[in-house]
């Protein structure tokens, strides 16, 4: 569908579901900044990716595996892919925090599975997410509901990239406080600016 140059990064799906503006700042405007949370995440990914692939009697562990889907125009890297003895593949995504109320992490691992299914002509029923804060793996059922959400997000990210626009800031205290781009995005300042502009226009119209 898309060439590798225009393929959507798997990470963009997670960024979009967390915040469409964050996704546009990173993937359209090429803006990035680090904070404690991103640094901890990078360290966790590094630990998962270090070392050679492992091959055991129970199966293989493939690290830092590049994956892609021509059908859906996706590309990215899996932290770990476990190839089980029966030939089944299980993508394992590493996250620094803990399970979340939204499904952004699940969509990212589902997209990895979609790429693997196309590359290896197989079907993958489950993926895994390892959370650094809880030190536990969570099983993700790759059912039709999650697959539909994943492909819908792919379409939304593609439209966002094609239109080359950045959504307006919507301040969310919980999300914005953890975002490494908060100083560049300035959601509170932009919200105040919009609010002040609306107040001024209302006052102006009321005096006419």
Domain ranges for the chain: 8-167, 171-208
Report the pLDDT value the prediction gives residue 44, as an integer from 0 to 100: 67
Residues near 150 by Cβ (< 8 Å), separated by ≥ 6? 13, 107, 110, 111, 114
Please give the model's pTM, rounded to 2 decimal places: 0.80
Residue with tokens 């021509």: 70
Closest by CA to 14, choosing from 132, 71, 94, is 94
Angle at 151 between CA 11 and CA 45, to 5 degrees: 20
For residue 30, is it left (φ>0), alpha (ψ between -120 and 50) or beta? left
Q: Rounded distance, CA 33 to CA 197, Å?
A: 29
> CA 15 → CA 122, 153, 170, distances in Å?
27, 10, 15
pLDDT at 133: 86
Handedness of CA 30, 113, 133, 59 (dihedral sign): negative
Averaged over successive runs of 10 residues, the pLDDT of the chain (208 residues) comes to 72 95 93 74 66 73 94 96 91 90 94 98 96 92 98 97 88 88 82 45 47
pLDDT confidence of residue 193: 47
CATH number of 8-167: 3.90.320.10
At residue 195, the pLDDT reads 46
3-state secondary structure (DSSP) of residue 46: helix
């Amino acid at each position: 569908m898309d060439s590798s140059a225009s393929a959507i990064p798997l990470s963009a799906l997670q960024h979009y579901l967390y915040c469409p503006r964050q996704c546009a700042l990173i993937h359209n405007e090429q803006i990035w900044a680090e904070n404690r949370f991103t640094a901890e995440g990078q360290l966790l990914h590094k630990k998962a990716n270090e070392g050679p692939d492992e091959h055991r009697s129970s199966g293989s562990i493939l690290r830092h595996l590049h994956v892609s889907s021509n059908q859906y125009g996706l590309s990215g890297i899996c932290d770990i892919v476990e190839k089980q003895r029966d030939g089944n593949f299980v993508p394992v995504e590493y996250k620094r925090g803990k399970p979340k109320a939204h499904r952004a992490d699940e969509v990212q691992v589902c997209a990895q599975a979609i790429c693997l299914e196309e590359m290896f002509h197989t079907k993958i029923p489950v993926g895994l997410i390892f959370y650094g804060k809880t030190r536990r793996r969570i099983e993700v059922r790759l059912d039709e509901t999650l697959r539909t959400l994943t492909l819908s997000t792919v379409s939304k990210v593609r439209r966002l990239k094609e239109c080359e626009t950045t959504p307006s800031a919507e301040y969310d205290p919980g999300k914005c406080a953890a975002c490494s781009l908060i100083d560049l995005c300035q959601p509170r300042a932009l919200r105040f600016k919009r609010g002040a502009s609306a107040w001024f226009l209302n006052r102006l119209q009321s005096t006419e």
